[in-house]
Structure 1
Amino acid sequence: MTRALFIAAPASGQGKTLITAALAWHHHQEGQRVRVFKTGPDFLDPMILSEASGHPVLNLDLFMMGKEACRQQVSEAAQDADLILVEGVMGLFDGIPSSADLAALLGLPVLMIMDASAMAQTFGALALGLKNYDARLNFAGVLANRVGSLHHAQLLASSLPTSLAWQGSIARDPALTLPERHLGLVQAAEVPDLKARLTHAAQALPETLRCFHKLPSITFPAPTPSAPPERWLEGLRIAIAQDRAFSFLYPANLSLLRTLGAQLSFFSPLQGELLPSCDALWLPGGYPELHLKSLAAHSHCMATIRQHHEAGKPILAECGGMTYLAQRLTSKEGDCADLVGLIPGEATVQPRLVALGLQSLQTPQGELRGHTFHYSRFETTLLPTSHAQNARNEEGEAVYCTKGLTATYLHSYFPSNPRAAAQFFLGKAL
């Protein structure tokens, strides 16, 4: 038996991530083996949750992964975990597929986090509606967040029907926050007092959640053995940019590349590190627009990337990685810099979100799935080789291919099609 919770809410902004992180931090500090998952295609929340749990955080997404892969990931983690936590995304029933679909598939008890700062007895009506909306779900109870006083908490608790367990409350506290920017939470490495914030949040948890043996338990099935994919990248050396400007990397993507036989090395364009000796290069997404001056100052680093391209070696550039390869990148504030210049054109960060959603790309090796989430707009004279499609079968992100370079706003989830993902690094056309 493993203790387990699916942390959900009626909407975004209710406090799911901080409360999930506080639970992970508290029980990890108590000596429990904690494994945390994040629902949906997210890079930033897992960074916080990884720091809190002391273990890499994997994503669970029914569109990108499928049902069996989601089950397998959790079953594998449960083999050596005392506590499994899965943080939902948006509201419990938002999206197709939704957090509710995932919670039902995994059979996890749902802890509902509700921001009660602007309500009293209506709290119970909303909680009951959420509980009764989908008979597949098993509710572990409701936690009231941002409560104004002891009397306020008593009103909230008394409004719940007997069928819904009261899991306590967390007082309104300006210190119980995590800093944010335009793509979501600030990266964990950029929050110098993160451990202090997690400690404070853990101390604010009600005793029902701080006591390990009071958490609900579940028996997870044993993982199903599966044959590994062919080692299409045997011995291939892949260099990967990784720093505060390029950090949007699924751990599952890195794991798959190693499984396919690749040798991975990491370097920091932000620190001016030269591209290491490699057969292929991956420039993932991130925040190059926040570091324009530093990136532009390291002309020697950019020169090694241009030399790599001139030699005809493969490059995969995703989202922020693609804007780094443009001739010019302009921030939302109007600051601009001339960058690598492998792709003609300019990327400009917009004041509002440009694209968000799950998308898939048809390749000669089959469908490769992923997502898009960006504020910049890219104008180029380079013609797209193909386009991804969104969930409504409408035209999605453009894919540009030239001389071994593949550039797109699409963030691919490599395990959705390992053979197609391998082509990025073999320099073969998609």
Structure 2
Amino acid sequence: MDAVAVTTAAVLVAAPASGQGKTTVAAALARLHARQGRTVRAFKCGPDFLDPHWLALATGAPVHSLDLWMTGEADCRRRLHEAAATADLVIVEGVMGLFDGDPSAADLAERFGLPVLAVIDAQAMAGTFGALAFGLQNFRPGLPWAGVLANRVGSDRHAGMLQDALREPDQWLGALQRGPGFALPERHLGLVDSGELGDAMQRLDAAADALAATPLGRRTIAQLPQVHFAAGPTAAAIKPLLAGRTIAIARDAAFSFIYPANLDTLRLLGARLVFFSPLAGDALPACDAVWLPGGYPELHAAALANRDDMRDALGAHAAAGKPVWAECGGMMALFDELVTKDGEVQPMWSLLPGRVTMQKRLAGLGPQQLAIAGDALRGHTFHYSTCDTPLAPAARTARPGVDAAVGAGAGEAFYVHGSVRASYFHAWFASNPEATAHLFDRHPIEVAHG
């Protein structure tokens, strides 16, 4: 692609906190323009598997993460430039509250000149809406700004009160009223995956219809903020370290936490990818390595427990010295037992000794990095279960700012049991393709001891 800077319509959809409706508005805006024949590309700020599924449904295109630490500024710049070169509209959904996290959504907006479209859940406020909108806009001087949209509004009269509370009337982008017709359901790890709902597209269309009646929805592409995207540096060539290798990847409702960029990286490393669904009864494909991604094994524990054939096939695969990379939910399925939130004990696939137990509160959250063969592989952790195992960690992950090569103390355990490599750590493969290749080759893995 020509590395000339490009300009296109773009916004970053943010909020004062999580749960305000960022995904609903971002997906509705994407769907509104996509169904009018425009090319829309969406991104998610920070680590996330679930919101991108809704954005991908709305746009019909893969959704990548943008994170100034995990994916890196150069990667963010390249992806935004590539998207802007072909899209009529680029939408970036923020993470948590606008200024939460390090780096935050505001950092990303400022770095790339993305005007912030603030979504505020206004169901229990009136005049304070204006103060909150003013604070978001002015807390950081010079932050690019697009305007504010009120979500979960009770009536037209309520919307009028909110609009009147703004110091700058031209900042008003409209209101979405409360309505179950386009609410996106949630569970303990976030939004329910769009693929699990038979009416997912109808929900997006209902949200897009509602948005179409607002000042934001009535704006043409030319009336939306126009952003100048400079080209990023050329990405370093990736050596085909996995050429000739076939990697079998579990992919279904139990193992759905897969970054599209991770699949791209494996292909650039030369691997051939094949997919299988343990829930659908698929056999383990012929392969050189297996990747069991994260997901929701706890919601499908009984079905997974009945896959004795999968347990035997994975056991034979590992006994033959072929690598298995089990990531978070994938690791959970490999222990002897899984204890659900209700206390039900289900036998799992017994490639790792011990049991995992679901908790009512988060057990791990935040950016992490793992040192493999002297190189740091970046990623994150987010889980509600804990594991009890006699295995000693071969290494531990580290938080940003800690030297991953010297161990991490309180980071996530990285287990090595024969040819099985497992952790709650979710890796962003593109952050270090060479380190990624070590997860899937047959050589003993070299990690920093925790």
- Pairwise same-fold verdict (TM > 0.5): yes
The residue number in structure 1 matching 2:405 is: none
Summarize the alignment of residues 164-203 of structure 1 with structure 2, pairs less than 5 Å apart.
165-203=171-209
Q: Find out whether 1:407 has 2:430 as its counterpart.
A: no
Q: 1:371 aligns with which of 367, 377, 380?
A: 380
1:336 paired residue number: 345
Map of 1:420 onto structure 2: 435
Corresponding residue to 1:101 among 96, 101, 107: 107
Q: Distance in 2 between matches of 1:391 and 1:228?
A: 25
Provide the C-alpha distance between the structure 2 equivalents of 1:322 and 1:142, rounded to a whole number of angstroms: 42
Whole-angstrom CA distance in 1 between matches of 2:220 and 2:285: 46
CA shift for structure 1 position 44: 0.5
Runs of 5+ consecutive residues of structure 1 not aligned to the other structure: none
Letter in 2 for 1:83: L
How many Å apart are 1:120 and its aligned residue? 1.1
**Aligned partner (choices 208, 217, 230) of residue 239 of structure 2:** 230
User: How far has the Cα of 1:403 moved from its partner?
Assistant: 1.7
2:391 to 382, 385, 397: 382
Separation of aligned partners in 1, 2:139 and 2:170: 14
1:3-402 equivalences under 5 Å are 3-162=9-168, 165-205=171-211, 206-213=214-221, 214-391=223-400, 393=402, 395-402=410-417
Q: What do residues 262-285 of structure 1 show as CA deviations (whole Å, max 9, x unaligned)?
A: 000001111221111111110011
Which residue matches 2:4? none
* Cα distance, 1:212 vs structure 2: 2.8
Q: CA deviation at 1:174?
A: 2.9
Give the distance between the partners of 2:109 and 2:395, measured in 1 at CA.
35
SS in structure 2 at match of 1:285:
coil
- In 1: Cα distance, 2:17 partner to 2:251 partner: 32
**Aligned partners of 2:298 and 2:266: how far apart in 1?**
28
Task: Provide, for residues 376-422 of structure 1, a one-character-per-residue CA deviation record: whole Å limited to 9, x for no partner.
Answer: 11000011101001247452100011222111000011111111011
Report how far residue 246 of structure 1 moved. Answer: 0.5
Q: Distance in 1 between matches of 2:434 and 2:341?
A: 37
Distance across 2 between alignment mates of 1:223 and 1:66: 11
- Bigger mean CA deviation after superposition, 38-47 or 130-139: 130-139
Letter in 2 for 1:189: G
| 1:11-37 Cα distance to aligned partner (Å, 9 max, x none) | 111100011111111111000000000
Deviations 1:173-228 (A, max 9, x none): 23331111111111111111111111111111114334333211122223443342
Q: Secondary structure at the match of 1:228?
A: coil
Paired with 2:162 and 2:341, the residues of 1 have a C-alpha distance of: 42
Tell me how far apart the structure 1 counterparts of residues 10 and 50 of structure 2 sit (CA, whole Å): 22
In structure 1, what is the Cα distance between the partners aligned to 2:33 and 2:85? 17
Is the Cα–Cα contact under 8 Å of residues 65 and 71 in structure 2 kept in the other structure? no
Q: Secondary structure, in 3 states, of the residue corresponding to 1:286? A: coil
Cα separation, partners in 2 of 1:391 and 1:220, compared to 1, 3 Å: closer
- The amino acid of 2:349's aligned partner reads V
The count of residues paired between Structure 1 and Structure 2 equals 430
- What TM-score results when the alignment is normalised by the length of structure 1? 0.97
Give a deviation string over 1:211-267, Cα, whole Å, max 9, x none: 333211122223443342111111111000001100101110100000010000001
The sequence identity of aligned pairs, in percent, is 51
User: Is the 1:79–1:222 contact (alpha carbons within 8 Å) kept by the matching residues of 2?
Assistant: no
Structure 2: how far apart are the matches of 1:179 and 1:392? Answer: 36
CA RMSD after TM alignment: 1.4
Counterpart Cα distance in 1 of 2:274 and 2:166: 54
The answer to whether the 8 Å contact 2:16/2:97 transfers is: yes
Q: Is the contact made by 1:27 and 1:212 (CA closer than 8 Å) also made in structure 2? A: no
Q: Which amino acid aligns with 2:9?
A: R
Identify unmatched segments of 5+ residues in structure 2: 1-6, 403-408
Give the deviation of 1:151 after TM superposition.
Answer: 2.0
